[in-house]
Amino acid sequence: MAPELDIEVLVAYAPLARQVREIALRLPAGATVAQALEASGLAALYPELDLAQVAVGVWGRKAARSQVLRSRDRVEVYRALRVDPKVARRERFTSQGKGRTGLFAKKRAGARSGY
């Protein structure tokens, strides 16, 4: 089997919820995540995005910028969380009330508490 001269990768970024920007690229074999980010042009499309500091991954797994890409890899650019997930869950639980959520939401008639 002959070695590949070019690889096809996809760079994905979601600037807002439910808005995904995908950019298909053809790069030389041996290209890295950093090279894919530079070739994608995301820095020009989204000036507020600092590609040197933002977290990136390949197929949902965190990746270093020096990671070599393979054909059909999906490079994902992650945006910062606005709210800590633990804090959001705690606030949701407080607003809904502890009696209506979780394991104790449905009680059988005559059952002991917690069963």
The residue that leads in pLDDT, 43 or 81, is 43
18 in a structural domain: yes
Predicted pLDDT at 12: 97
Domain hosting 32: range is 6-77
Predicted pLDDT at 68: 97
85 in a structural domain: no
111 in a structural domain: no
Q: Which residues contact 45 (CB under 8 A, 6 or more apart)?
A: 21
Residue of 1, 9, 81 whose CA lies nearest to 40: 9
110 in a structural domain: no
**51-106 confidence digits (pLDDT tens):** 889 999 999 999 999 999 999 999 999 988 888 889 988 888 887 766 555 665 66
101 in a structural domain: no
**16-41 confidence digits (pLDDT tens):** 888 999 999 999 999 999 999 999 99
Q: What is the pTM of this model?
A: 0.71
Measured distance CA(103)–CA(55) in Å, rounded? 36
24 in a structural domain: yes
Residue of 96, 78, 83, 2 whose CA lies nearest to 33: 78
Measured distance CA(71)–CA(54) in Å, rounded? 23
Residue type, 14: A
36 in a structural domain: yes
Instruction: Please tell me what DSSP assigns to residue 32.
Output: B
Measured distance CA(103)–CA(87) in Å, rounded? 20
Write the CATH number for 64.
3.10.20.30
Average pLDDT over residues 47-53: 90
45 in a structural domain: yes
Q: How many structural domains compose the chain?
A: 1
